[in-house]
Amino acid sequence: MEDTEINFLLMLAWLHYRFGAQPVFVASDIRLRQFGLGKDAYEAHRMLNRFGLVNVEEDSNRDFDGYLVTGYNEGTMPKLHRFELRREGFDEQAVPKIRSAIERRLR
């Protein structure tokens, strides 16, 4: 795992400790100030999701176009991603899981 992925998992583990097992979210200002995670580290959730370590619930009404969030009503904020640790994902062997994720992406 890369440092960004480990840092993201540690942030998520703390959020689950603090707020329980339900899906959790973190606003960008809190993520930066309290956890020191910038945008690149935050994006680690994509790979962690592919590896089966994190579930990600995204707002189905929003699209990410480069740096802009689009697809939501004017005057309303888009819903933040919700994250959930998949504890059972940590029981799986890493190499076969990573190989499977890479093969899925190559298709």
Q: Which domain holds residue 38?
A: 3-106
Mean pLDDT of the chain: 83
Indicate the number of domains in the chain. Answer: 1
- For the stretch 34-59, pLDDT in tens is 999 998 888 899 889 988 899 999 87
Q: Which residues contact 40 (CB under 8 A, 6 or more apart)?
A: 4
CATH number at residue 70: 1.10.10
pLDDT at 89: 81
- For the stretch 71-88, pLDDT in tens is 556 666 767 889 999 888
Instruction: Tell me the residue length of the chain.
Output: 107
Name the pLDDT band for 92 (thresholds 50, 70, 90): confident
What pTM was computed for the model? 0.76
